[in-house]
Structure 1
Amino acid sequence: MSRELTVLLVDADNTLWDTDAVFRDAQLLVLARVEGETGRTCAAVDRLEFIRSYDQALAQKHHLHLRYPAQLLVRSVEAGLAGIAPEVAALDAIAGRTMTSGLIKQDVVEAIVSDYMQALTRMPPLLGGVPEGVRAAKAAGLRLFVMTEGRVEKQKRLLEQHGLLDSFESVWEMTKERSQFDRVVGRFAGSRVVVIGDQPDRDIVPAKAAGCSTVLVPSRFKPSWQTAADQGVADYLATDFLAAVKWCVETDSEATVQIN
């Protein structure tokens, strides 16, 4: 007896669309604004690497991880331009010590944060291979779902804007932990479940522990806590979404077509 159709559970940010590009532009905007307000200039050759070192320090130190309050980034970068190391600046910002010692007034910080948040609303462009990969998955009879730790409505809106909403059966907001992937595997008992994502620690490791097949499509953005060895935990390392789908079809005896 043949099993049910294969389920593809797909991450959205930096797997379907280039969220990293949106954050890059927004973070560089923050750096430029802080430079303008302090009169200090970033001496680093790689300006993006400079500000992301403070972003990553905050994510590692703050209990909300990557969802830390954006004003902390402004204060940390302000300290960074004065020569304070990322880890120290992050701890000072979290403790509120930079609120009184910084050069930038709080109302200006709030204005920078407002511009930063506005910049993050820009629609991210689709990554290479995504439209072709989605079409190939549908042609092969695979079932497509989006998994997200963000807001469902936002992801649905982006899918619709990119003309992909009808290709996905549903969008799920879920914490990417093994227990959640266990529930998915239970829901689709009898089906092969494949998880496609860009982050080894968030997308691949917990899904693989739950018994899913896993495909990593590495993002350009690699958090400081990841190493090159982390990419090896996935069942397959794909260059883009189309390559990920091709692997799924080639290793799936129930697929209805093969992709050239």
Structure 2
Amino acid sequence: MMQQVVLCDADNTLWDTDSVYAKAQEALLSRVEAILDIRNLAHGRLDFVRRYDQALAAKHHLHFRYPPIMLVFGLADGLRGGSPDVAARAALTGHRNSDAISIPLAEQIVADYVGARDKTPGLLPGVEEGLKLAQRRGLGVYMLTEGRIEKQRKIIEIHGLGWAFESVLEVTKTVTQFRRLRERFASASVTVIGDQPDRDIEPALSAGCSAVLIPSRFRPAWHISDSWESATYVASDFSDAIAWITKMPAAI
């Protein structure tokens, strides 16, 4: 029986989802600008999109999995001067301040955006090395995802990493769910690896797991600076995270 279990986040922990999203979000902004004939953002374009993206995520019960059509209308409001908060509230209530973008056109924009957003991300530094180290040391690595499990399995297959994971688990990252996982692996030491304090680290710690943070480039505005220091260990990359875990005492 495995004595050490690793519950590992996928996006921006194993692969560089942030870069894929950045390209898709900037292309989305250009599309909305062209339709509205508004081109007044020469700099800070990605930051502009992400302020509206985060405003929606902060208010929607699905967090960053909110329907992307809301971002289309949110950006349209933002380009016309609406603040992220006001635009998010309008999008959440289905209110549109302009008829320049019809529902069918918005759905077409979303289809293109989702297609660009779903391109296969590249592996982050240290991932392959870390997974090989985990295998050599007998760690049981399970991938956790709040997204589509089929998508993550496809990325695993494309990168040839099927050997590295015991299973892929689709879960909502709450304290309750982490407690259930902790109970499932009650005879092992359990460590969670992730890139976001509020979705990975804090609920894992509250559930009695160790938690290793690999800080990603993407930091939502609601993360205060010291929240990145709550982890049991802050790693430089995935290989460093696994190396630290291998030094921990295994459960008896």
Q: Using structure 2 for the length normalisation, give the TM-score.
A: 0.94
Q: Given the alignment of the two structures, is residue 200 of structure 1 paired with residue 204 of structure 2, yes or no?
A: no
Aligned length in residues:
251
> Which residue number corresponds to residue 25 of structure 2?
27
1:238 equivalenced with 2:235 (yes/no): yes
Structure 1 stretches of 4+ moved >6 Å: none
- Matches of residues 1-260 of structure 1 in structure 2 within 5 Å? 4-43=2-41, 45-98=43-96, 101-252=98-249
Contact in 1 for aligned 2:56/2:88 (Cα 8 Å): yes
Other-structure match for 1:258? none
In structure 2, relative to structure 1, the CA distance for the partners of 1:12 and 1:122 (3 Å cut) is: same
Instruction: Report the alpha carbon displacement of residue 181 of structure 1 after superposing the two structures with TM.
Output: 1.4
Instruction: Give the Cα–Cα distance (whole angstroms) in 2 for the partners of residues 36 and 125 of structure 1.
Output: 30
Q: Return the letter of the residue paired with 2:125.
A: G
State the secondary structure of the residue aligned to 2:19. Answer: helix
Superimposed CA distance per residue, residues 94-122 of structure 1 (whole angstroms, 9 cap, x where no aligned partner): 22221x62422333222111100111220
Please say if residues 5 and 141 of structure 2, whose CA atoms lie closer than 8 Å, have aligned partners that are also in contact.
yes
Contact 1:193 1:212 in 2 (8 A): yes
Counterpart CA distance in 1 for 2:73 and 2:159 is 36
Identity %: 49
* Deviation for aligned residue 1:209: 1.1
SS in 1 for 2:131: helix
Deviates more, 1:49-58 or 1:148-157: 148-157
Q: Is the CA contact 2:2–2:138 (under 8 Å) kept in the aligned structure 1?
A: no
C-alpha displacement of 1:124 = 0.7
Which structure 1 segments of 5+ residues have no match?
Answer: 255-260
Q: Give the letter aligned to residue 130 of structure 1.
A: V
Kept in 2, the 8 Å contact 1:146–1:171? The answer is yes
Tell me, in whole angstroms, the C-alpha distance in 2 between the residues paired with 1:150 and 1:62: 16
Q: Distance in 2 between matches of 1:42 and 1:231?
A: 35
CA shift at 1:253, angstroms? 5.4
RMSD value over aligned CA atoms? 1.6
Counterparts in 2 of 1:4 and 1:70: CA distance versus 1, 3 Å: closer
In 2, Cα distance between equivalents of 1:199 and 1:172: 18
Query: CA 1:252–1:42 in 2, change beyond 3 Å: closer, same or farther?
Result: farther
Structure 2 CA distance for aligned equivalents of residues 4 and 79 of structure 1: 53
What secondary structure does 1:10 align onto?
Answer: strand
State how far apart, in whole Å, the 1-side matches of 2:22 and 2:50 are: 9
